[in-house]
Amino acid sequence: MKDYYHNTRQLYRANFGKKVTGVCAGLARYWQLDVRLVRVAAIVALIFLTVPTAVAYFLATLLLPVR
């Protein structure tokens, strides 16, 4: 039987190329995007949706495993 979970992507905090905690770098790698695009989107979201973005970033920092 083929292992289904072998080829799945995993979301994690990146230990490489990180600026603060590695959340944006991990998201960029998961979505296969440029890390600068994810960081700009996070900053824009932080400006316009301050509390939800800050809570989401804090929770992602606590809950996502480091790779």
In the prediction, which pLDDT does 18 show? 82
* pLDDT for res 56: 96
What are the tens digits of pLDDT across the range 21-67?
A: 999 999 999 999 999 999 999 999 999 999 999 999 999 999 999 98
Given a contact cutoff of 8 angstroms between Cβ atoms, the answer to whether 22 and 11 are in contact is: no
Dist. CA 60–CA 67, nearest whole Å: 14
Query: Measured between alpha carbons, how far is 18 from 1 in angstroms, rounded to an integer?
Result: 38
Q: What is the pTM of this model?
A: 0.80
